[in-house]
Amino acid sequence: MTSVTAAPRGAEGKAKSVEDDLPLQTDSSGRARQTTLFVLRKLGLFVLTLWAAVTVNFILPRLMPGTPADAALAKLAQNGPVSDATKAAIEAQLGVPTGNIFEQYVSYLHQVITLDFGVSYTFYPQTVAELVSTALPYTLVLVGAVTIIAFILGTLLGVLAAWKRGTWLDALPTLAGSFASAFPYFWTALLLLFFAGYVWRLFPTSGAYGPTATPNLSFAFLGDALYHAFLPALTILITSLGGWILGMRNTMISTLGDDYVTFAEANGLKPRVVALRYAARNAILPNLTSFGLALGGVVGGSILVERVFGYPGVGYLLFNAVTNQDYPLMQALFLMITLSVLVANFLVDILYGVLDPRTRR
């Protein structure tokens, strides 16, 4: 084997400081502009998908043959001939489309923007807008708040479980969480209702407020509303908490094995800082997507709980609309559900932008 006298070290000159010319020139104003652009882009996407959803909501019923009036008349016709007067009355009540499809679309868009969804069949003569606006606050406060509380609480317990892996702080929440979330929603609801509501009589068994109260913003009423919301809230908390604990625990265990956590320990950072700023901060990111989905499901996904507790929220309303074939109400509610999913996704997108610099580009 030969040995070659190579150039002595350093002969090729001092090592270039930045070996690859990466863009380092963007200053802080560039960063601010980047952030604005990011928000605008997400907002644009939100408006676009909203428009698409609204349009699909318009097209779908029109793909079905006939009008709602035709359907109602066909049902009546099964019991014998329908008089012209009846026909006219039904058509007047349910409406018959006029104008071409484009004109219909424009008037539909106008109605959507002015929140004019017509009159409910079931709760005639109340308008759909009235019904939805009465039900929405109850659902938003009950299910929305509990979903957020469950996410925060579950995430914290998950962090603790992963950090204290193998101890009782890990075993207890993990086991209890998976045990509780294995029950079906309504089963937990019925158990709570039976014991806390019926046997021990600690909480009311149905409604959003007592028979004597009138909805207003007084402390007395809010207290009464919270008292009534307690059992349904507990049901949702019990059944959803386990999922958040397990989800966070698993991603956190994976980030705890990541190099930046080891390096943070090697640099002697305080254990609490390593756990929160390094491991948990990164572990929470994948769970945000599930959180977005859960938030989006707040309006539509509470049917069972609201049904069991007779809670007058959106889910209860939707249940009634479907069983009574109340098309105007259903259409408005479906639009609400779509809207809530889109809003939740938009919020989570922005939250991602705040929490993860990699998504801001």
Q: Interface with another protein includes 36 (CB under 8 A)? A: no
- Measured between alpha carbons, how far is 123 from 128 in angstroms, rounded to an integer? 9
Reading the block at residue 110, the tokens are 């106008």
Query: CB of 13: closest distance to another protein in angstroms?
Result: 10
Q: If binding is defined by CB under 8 A, does position 22 make contact with another protein?
A: yes
Which CB sits closer to another protein, 100 or 267?
Answer: 267
SS (H, E, C) 121-167: CCCCCCEHHHHHHHHHHHHHHHHHHHHHHHHHHHHHHHHHHHHCCCC
Q: Is 43 in the site for another protein (CB under 8 A)?
A: no
Pairwise CA distance, residues 166 & 3, whole Å? 57
Site size for another protein, by CB under 8 A? 44
Query: Which residue shows structure tokens 């509303």?
Result: 225
Q: Return the number of the residue (1 or 217) whose C-beta is nearest another protein.
A: 1
Buried residues in 283-306 as b, exposed as e (16+ CB within 10 A):
bbbebbeebbebbbbbbbbbbbbb
User: Which of residues 87 and 281 has its CB atom nearest to another protein in the complex?
Assistant: 281
- Footprint (CB under 8 A) of another protein, residues 261-290: 262-271, 273, 277-278, 281-282, 285
The yes or no reply on residue 84 touching another protein (CB under 8 A) is no
Any contact of residue 28 with another protein (CB under 8 A)?
A: yes
Q: Retrieve residue 125's tokens.
A: 């003569």
| Selected binder of another protein within 98, 100, 220, 358 (CB under 8 A) | 358
| 98 DSSP 8-state letter | -
Shorter beta-carbon distance to another protein: residue 2 or 79: 2
**CB closer to another protein, 217 vs 266:** 266
Can you tell me which residue has the tokens 């580009």?
361
Choose the stretch contacting another protein; rule: CB under 8 A; options: 12-20, 73-81, 134-142, 342-350.
12-20
CA–CA distance, 328 with 95 (Å, rounded to integer): 11
Which residues would be at the binding site for another protein (CB under 8 A)?
1-4, 6-7, 9-10, 12, 15-20, 22-24, 28, 31, 258-260, 262-271, 273, 277-278, 281-282, 285, 355-358, 361
